[in-house]
Amino acid sequence: MATIEEVLDVEQIEKDIFRGEPVETLLHRTFGGQVACQSLIAAVRTVDPEFRVHSMHAYFLRPGKPKMPTVYLVDRIREGRSFCTRRIQAVQDGEAIFVMSASFHVGDPGIEHSDVVPPVPKAEELPDPADVPELKDRWELKEWSNWDLRIVPPDQTELHPRLASQQRVWMRYRGEIADDPTAHVCALAYMSDMLLLGSSLGPHPKERSRVQLASLDHAMWFMQPFRADEWLLYDQTSPYAGHGRALTQGRIWDAEGRLVAAVVQEGLTRLPRD
């Protein structure tokens, strides 16, 4: 399947206009993480190097066609001394399939605090799914074969008794990503859409095969530098599902226990009508 280098390869075709070529996929529609990642790449290329992305807010408007290139149109909404803002529109066949607002910050002194990473076994203590025979036919492992995704068994972690649905996943890119911090931020934007909506299915094992899943909107905040080719813990919860939609949340920690990013996503979780 597609490497992260292929996903990150976005071509500039005119000022503030970029194009991402199709990448190999098993999916019938373009993976949302791919469009988010490439939109962010396009936005980054329109800001000065001292600005670093600190947040993105996006809506998935139409299913993308995975065999068709995607054009990214960037609007320069704000140029400030500490912050700047970009609006990105992803287009196929003349129609917007995705829109994103991305905010960039140079960094300022301020107060500091952080939650503590939840107790989980180390990633190396869990089996590599690629080595587990009964998992080899799962589409997720085929689609994201370049990523190491290790779901923490519920009996090996401390789950909060008052949360409706929880899932924790160790993840990293199997190869080596260049030292450019932007590449790691955009790679994490890609990774953040993996498995997050699926965390809403924990309380509904009998419905798992019947639920139609699709990302509707996605917001992400970046706190500290990290590497996407080193272990990151994705702590996922789903506080609510109803009316064919589910709200999911994620916090991402590095192996040293530093909180590096946070995610909120709403997705379609529709059952077929009887």
Residues annotated catalytic, as ranges: 193, 215, 265
CA 241 to chain centre: 20
Q: What are the tokens at 12? A: 């500039």
Virtual CA dihedral for 54, 56, 57, 58, nearest 10 degrees? 180
Other CB atoms within a 10 A radius of the CB of residue 228 amount to 22
What's the CA gap between 35 and 179, in Å, rounded? 22
Q: Which residues face 270 on adjacent strands?
A: 212
Q: What are the tokens at 123? A: 């990633």
What's the CA gap between 132 and 136, in Å, rounded? 7
What's the CA gap between 38 and 19, in Å, rounded? 9
Buried (b) or exposed (e) across 129-161, using 16+ Cβ within 10 A? beeeeeeeeeeebebbeebbbbbbeeeebebee
What's the CA gap between 81 and 50, in Å, rounded? 10
Q: By C-alpha distance, which of 52, 103, 100 is closest to 73?
A: 100
At position 189, the amino acid (one-letter code) is: A
Q: What are the tokens at 105? A: 């910050």
Q: Which residues face 20 on adjacent strands?
A: 10, 70
